[in-house]
Structure 1
Amino acid sequence: MTTRTTIRIPGFRGDVIAPDHHDYDDARAVWNGTVDRRPRLIARCSGTADVAAAVRYARDRDLEIAVRGGGHNVAGAAVCDGGIVIDLSAMRAVSVDPVERTALVQGGALWGDVDHETQAHGLATTGGIVSHTGVGGLTLGGGIGWLMRKHGLAVDNLVEAEVVTAEGEIIWASASDHPDLFWALRGGGGNFGIVSSFRFALHSVGPIVIAGPVFWPAEDTTEVLRFYREFVTDAPDELGNIVKLTTIPPLPVIDEHLHFQPTIAVASCYAGPVEDGERAVRALRQFGKPLLDLVGPTLYVDHQSGLDATVPHGWHYYWKATNLTGLSDEVIDIVAAHAHRATSPRSYAAMFHMGGAIPRAPRDATAYAGRDVDHNIIVHAAWLPEQDDTVRAAETAWARAFLDALQLHRAGVYVNFLDSDDDASRVREAYGDDTYRRLADVKAKFDPENVLHNNKNIQPRTPAQ
């Protein structure tokens, strides 16, 4: 008979999972299957008090801390070797106040949890493009999604946050309470505390929206991108668009003869009346000779989860990304030349149209620093776990070469798109010098010992600096 290790954390009511626990391998697995780390302990919290107890336990024993919300970070920040994972994945409650139009969301919730509860009241907030993404990680880095041009980023909709500090204290941060911390949380990542609850502002959305992708053959990429550049110039704020350069996914709604055919797609979501949305996307749908048009009235929750099957848990992923100064002919030529060089049919490049409400927010209101860019692009290499190192090497080389080719057109980077080999210089690139210094000051106040450093780290600023 095997004796299982029993570890007790004072004041902790959740599950404590050690390496000999039958759930250990599942509990340490994250979305990116390339991440294979073995923590000493996983503390699966049942509530905020457990989070605080786990922090104090780790501090008392000088244990490395990783924080898991949705576990979706491509760099694998949610798990560490030899330390403790403070796991919020059991904390997924969402409570909607339809009168005040707010939602209180626990730190382990996924965006699918939020959409499920808020759409019951015809409400939503900006939250990702994949429903199994965690609320915490996406929000703390800024939070881009389909609704951002109309309703702002996720951080623009954050009203207050319950935070467990690096000392294990529980505080609330808002515009009136700890405003410096509140500013830093909105874009500065998981550097300043563990957010156990978020309160978001909600907006009327759906339940039916005009949404979906239009696909053209890959050889039409240059022409489609040049049309798209003009199409989005006067696009209404309600219209969110994402360009995806990929192969057609093998989804049940798509005829088999189109599966994995190289393509350029423009996916849209209109955050307004269906009739207005149909007019807004008409020119897009009529351009050229599309292979496939899946735009139409759809439930917002279905659109939010429509890409889930194309990026499942456990596949191997590698990202490179940058903001773009614009879509010049030169940028379009670079994108067209590199996008379809991937050898894996699961790899893709995606370009997000920014603008709208994003640049209209006060520049110093949040730590998110990419408000003035028109587009950002992510080069997303993906391959199956059973494929060998030859495939991995080819896909990662493709992503790096793509980013290198865009060097002269880069304008910062979205911090949530940084991978594990993006160093401190790229973190500074995400914020710029002034915002980084201000973040470093807040870090020095709330985490001077840099306890929370398994993230895209902001170093605490010392008086000498």
Structure 2
Amino acid sequence: MEFNGFRGRLITADHADYDTARAVWNGAVDRRPRLIARCGGTADVAAAVRFARDHDLEIAVRGGGHNVAGTAVCDDGIVIDLSAMRAVSVDPAGRTARVQGGALWGDVDRATQAHGLATTGGIVSHTGVAGLTLGGGIGFLMRAYGLAVDNLLAAELVTADGGTLRAAPDEHPDLFWALRGGGGNFGVVSSFEFALHPLGPTVLAGPVFWAAEDTSDVLRFYRDFAAVAPDELGTVVRLGTVPPLPVIPEELHWRPAVAVACCYAGAVEDGEHAVRDLRRFGTPLVDLLSPKPYAAFQSGLDDTVLHGWHYYWKSTDLTGLSDDVIAVIADHGYRAGSPRSYAAMFHMGGAVGRIPGDATAYAGRDVAHNIVIDGVWLPDESGEHATAESAWARRFLQALQPHRAGSVYVNFLDSDDDTGRVREAYGDHTYRRLAEVKAKYDPDNTFHHNKNIHPA
């Protein structure tokens, strides 16, 4: 099979690489596309979109393939696969980076850190740049430098008619606004341009762990600690078991624990002052906060969320950490059946909250924390854990219901049972504005295999 203008690689069901090519990060997703078009550049992407439109094929778009809902692959359609497009070009003088749409955050961190620069990315290095950015882009650097979308300067994309255009503040500004949080609804982004900031290469970063029975005390302390933390300090709370990483004593592996992971976007000595009280609180099981290369820190969690494991997520934004919220988190955080399941809570605010709410399509500017509840189990444990872990995540979310901020991070929405929450991710006003942009650039809803926004 071939089509006009396509110079990439076509993979069909009879190809030896088909099963590998259709696999995504979430091993619970098992879909069989008719065709996988692995693109080598923007021209290939445009050719693939035109072919799909001409043959009325369902379209899925794959960047890093990391979305928990598995939207990067579809049944009986075409996957427009950008995974071979991973180039990163850095302009150190201008402090910008041009990043192809199939790049992973590890690619970006390695290229930018060679110049002592960085931009806000995910907390796992094998996460795709495209999906994380288009949904907003939260990470350790967001309190200092804003979300990934706040650092997006321009994007090149292929539209639903197979044309190409550049979206930037002065070119298609309505589309540029929508791309900054509205997901993959408006086209296939073949490259991004990001602003960079001086960082590293050595930063003060790492987690501190406490025993699970100390969770309520730790969270009450953390509430006050986070409220006065400098913008340079990014923190993520994790509840689950201690992962079996080589840097952690073996006797602690799989022990239930609460952790506060930190990354200080500034001088190491300033970071040591900022985390001093955290490290002194209570009796930590292990303290891994130390100076280390930023790129190494960013990949430190990679082996705790491997490709091919099965995942089920639930998430919500929180207005704060009241005693009642802390009680719910401490009560439900360790009830999962699988030792790989966990909950993670991101401290928002800082630069994220200072940007006007209507400046981008990302809507969670005024929330204090975001929590994601991640059911995780191995492929051969599907019978044992699939139902139990999914039920745990849903019960945990339900218990948080009275304390939710009324919004949710769109990148943390799972599959079918979260479809109705897309509007919640944006609020009515932003959703209506996104629907108007959708009607202008994709009136037929060609790109709908995503967290879909229907054309107005």
The gaps in structure 1 that reach 5 residues or longer are 1-6
**Correspondent of 1:30 among 11, 21, 24:** 24
**Correspondent of 1:233 among 224, 227, 237:** 227
**Does residue 177 of the first structure (1) align with residue 171 of the second (2)?**
yes
Q: Secondary structure, in 3 states, of the residue corresponding to 1:240? A: strand
Matches within 5 A, 1:226-375: 226-375=220-369
**Correspondent of 2:150 among 153, 156, 162:** 156
**Partner of residue 193, structure 1:** 187
Hey, what's the Cα distance between the residues in 2 that align with 1:79 and 1:174?
A: 28
Q: Secondary structure, in 3 states, of the residue corresponding to 1:396? A: helix
Sequence identity percentage: 73
Which letter does structure 2 place at the counterpart of 1:97? D
Which letter does structure 2 place at the counterpart of 1:152? G
Hey, what's the Cα distance between the residues in 2 that align with 1:226 and 1:164?
A: 48
**Partner of residue 109, structure 1:** 103
| Bigger mean CA offset, 414-423 vs 79-88 | 414-423
Q: Secondary structure, in 3 states, of the residue corresponding to 1:109? A: coil
Hey, what's the Cα distance between the residues in 2 that align with 1:76 and 1:391?
A: 19
Hey, what's the Cα distance between the residues in 1 that align with 2:203 and 2:270?
A: 10
Q: Secondary structure, in 3 states, of the residue corresponding to 2:447? A: coil
Q: What is the CA deviation profile of residues 395-436 of structure 1, one whole-angstrom value per residue up to 9, with x for unaligned ones? A: 000000000000011111000000003444310110000000
**Partner of residue 418, structure 1:** 413
Hey, what's the Cα distance between the residues in 2 that align with 1:388 and 1:12?
A: 39
**Correspondent of 2:72 among 66, 70, 78:** 78
**Number of residue pairs the alignment of both structures matches:** 455
Which letter does structure 2 place at the counterpart of 1:427? V
> How far off is 1:325 after superposition?
1.3
Q: Secondary structure, in 3 states, of the residue corresponding to 1:406? A: helix
Hey, what's the Cα distance between the residues in 2 that align with 1:327 and 1:9?
A: 55
Q: What is the CA deviation profile of residues 55-86 of structure 1, one whole-angstrom value per residue up to 9, with x for unaligned ones? A: 00000000000000000000000000000000
**Partner of residue 3, structure 1:** none
Hey, what's the Cα distance between the residues in 1 that align with 2:14 and 2:420?
A: 39
Q: Secondary structure, in 3 states, of the residue corresponding to 2:258? A: strand
Hey, what's the Cα distance between the residues in 2 that align with 1:124 and 1:435?
A: 29
Hey, what's the Cα distance between the residues in 2 that align with 1:392 and 1:123?
A: 41
**Does residue 11 of the first structure (1) align with residue 5 of the second (2)?**
yes
The gaps in structure 2 that reach 5 residues or longer are none
**Partner of residue 144, structure 1:** 138
> How far off is 1:365 after superposition?
1.2
Hey, what's the Cα distance between the residues in 1 that align with 2:248 and 2:433?
A: 49
**Correspondent of 2:196 among 202, 221, 234:** 202
Which letter does structure 1 place at the counterpart of 2:455? P
Q: Secondary structure, in 3 states, of the residue corresponding to 2:380? A: coil
**Correspondent of 2:33 among 39, 59, 80:** 39
Q: Secondary structure, in 3 states, of the residue corresponding to 1:288? A: coil
> How far off is 1:388 after superposition?
3.4
**Partner of residue 389, structure 2:** 395
Runs (4+) of structure 1 exceeding 2 A deviation are 421-425
**Does residue 130 of the first structure (1) align with residue 124 of the second (2)?**
yes
Which letter does structure 1 place at the counterpart of 2:434? L
> How far off is 1:393 after superposition?
0.7
**Partner of residue 435, structure 2:** 440
Q: What is the CA deviation profile of residues 109-161 of structure 1, one whole-angstrom value per residue up to 9, with x for unaligned ones? A: 00000000000000000000000000000000000001000000000000000
